[in-house]
Amino acid sequence: MGDQFPRFKAAAVMASSVFLDREATTQKVCGLIAEASQAGAKLIVFSEVLIPGYPYWIWLFSPTQGAPYFVDLFKNAVEIDSPTVRKLGRAARAADAHVVVGVSEREGGTLYNTLLYFDNRGELIGRHRKLQPTHVERTIWGHGDGSDLRVFETELGKLSGLICWEHSMDLTRYALTAQGEQIHVAVWPGVSALAHDPNSKIFNAITEAAARHHAFAGQCFVINVQAPIGTDVIEKLGLNDKPELIRAGGGWTAIVGPNGQIVAGPLTDQEGIVYAEIDLEQIVLAKYCCDSAGHYARPDVLRLSVQFESQPVLEKARPAEVSVIPVKAQPSQARHTEDAATSDQNRRTSALGERAPTLLGIPRR
């Protein structure tokens, strides 16, 4: 009979936030978790920073003009130990589903573009902070580090993900592939509805190319989710009469198989849920052809080094290690050296007490 691989239904939820309203967006997300669960989904994925919404003003206004919106974003951001996270956990547990959702995370005075991972018991099993906020996103979010570049072992399979332009970071993607990733979450904002940006016309095509390439290159399933821009975003930014700058809609959501082919979707320009049956056995034949972290790798030529430890701004300093090396005098100088050492010791003992060293200390590098 041999081994059996997990099979389950995945849901890619393409939904707009209730813009800059953490509680209302969380309530909406919990309702969508329940809806997807009723359809049989065991993995439910939401878009980048859905709670409390993507800061589209950074592409439209100057930092000074955008400052009041940042204050609103900061006030509605999500802390890890918070009622919001506990509410999301309860929704995942009630649905008996694994849930991945993007939030603007707040720690201290800094925000982070973060993916939260919940298992079907409602436990927060991990997070991923975007390693490198893109372009003007750096006026909003801080940097993640390697401590969040993890693949999570779940009963559905090995689960991980990246945020938006991180998919252009080949070493970052390979770090997940090398850890055995089987299910990849790819989340993005609905940039295709930023009408004033010439690049918005190709954003969906880039998203599709990135999702399909990672699925093929990593031999994994990709759950790709964007969020359409809601009319409340346009209203709050005061741009109702500026369709040349921003419009409602946008987004490209689909599920991709390990051969790089789309198995469900795409859904564009509207809210909805894309479902697909995931069978991890399909990865076997993809690996048979090309196992990028196994028989198709060449570590004798190329290998990746990853710093998985966190990089705190404050840590307790360790006492300097000291290597003690006795000073050995020549026989003819022994008496003179002994007298000099005794005299020197007496002087230092008088000044420093019994802690004065009698041997030469050299800091170890």
Give the mean model confidence (pLDDT) for residues 88-107. Answer: 98
289 is known as an active-site residue: no
Give the mean model confidence (pLDDT) for residues 22-47. Answer: 98
Tens digits of per-residue pLDDT, 110-129? Answer: 999 999 999 999 999 999 99
Where residue 157 falls (left for φ over 0; alpha for ψ -120 to 50; beta otherwise) is left
Q: The tokens of 320 are what?
A: 């300097």
Catalytic residue from among 28, 30, 105, 130: 130
130 is known as an active-site residue: yes
> Helices (DSSP H) in the chain: which residue ranges?
22-38, 63-75, 83-95, 170-178, 200-218, 231-236, 282-289, 334-352
Give the mean model confidence (pLDDT) for residues 36-49. Answer: 98
pLDDT above 60: residue 341: no
Q: The tokens of 64 are what?
A: 């000074």
Tens digits of per-residue pLDDT, 245-291? Answer: 999 999 999 999 999 999 999 999 999 999 999 999 999 999 999 99
pLDDT of residue 150: 96
Higher pLDDT, 98 or 314: 98
**CB proximity list for 103: less than 8 A, separation 6 or greater:** 49, 50, 51, 52, 77, 78, 84, 114, 115, 116
Closest of 225, 192, 215 to residue 262, by C-alpha? 215
For residue 254, report the phi and psi dihedrals to the nearest 5 degrees.
-160, 165
pLDDT of residue 317: 85
Mean pLDDT in the chain? 90
For residue 13, report the phi and psi dihedrals to the nearest 5 degrees.
-95, 110
**CB proximity list for 194: less than 8 A, separation 6 or greater:** 56, 59, 60, 200, 245, 246, 250
Closest of 122, 135, 251 to residue 188, by C-alpha? 251
pLDDT above 60: residue 24: yes
Give the pLDDT band of residue 323 (cuts 50, 70, 90): low
pLDDT above 80: residue 360: no
pLDDT above 80: residue 363: no
pLDDT of residue 338: 52
Rounded Cα distance between 275 and 40, Å, is 9
Please calculate the CA angle 161-167-172 and round it to the nearest 5 degrees: 70
Exposure class string for 284-293: b at 16+ Cβ within 10 A, else e = eebbeeeebb
The answer to whether 46 touches 101, Cβ cutoff 8 Å, is: yes
Catalytic residue from among 28, 137, 164, 220: 164
Host H or E run for residue 128 = strand 124-129
Tens digits of per-residue pLDDT, 194-209? Answer: 999 888 999 999 999 9
Catalytic residue from among 28, 30, 48, 105: 48
Three-class HEC string of 179-228: CCCCEEEEECCCHHHCCCCCCHHHHHHHHHHHHHHHHHHHCCEEEEECCC
- How many C-beta neighbours within 10 Å does residue 303 have? 9
pLDDT of residue 158: 98
Q: Where are the domains of the chain?
A: 7-289, 322-363
pLDDT above 90: residue 333: no
pLDDT of residue 322: 64
- The reply to whether CATH 3.60.110.10 applies to domain 7-289 is yes
Q: The tokens of 310 are what?
A: 């966190």
pLDDT above 50: residue 355: no
Q: The tokens of 281 are what?
A: 């056995």
Give the pLDDT band of residue 318 (cuts 50, 70, 90): confident
164 is known as an active-site residue: yes
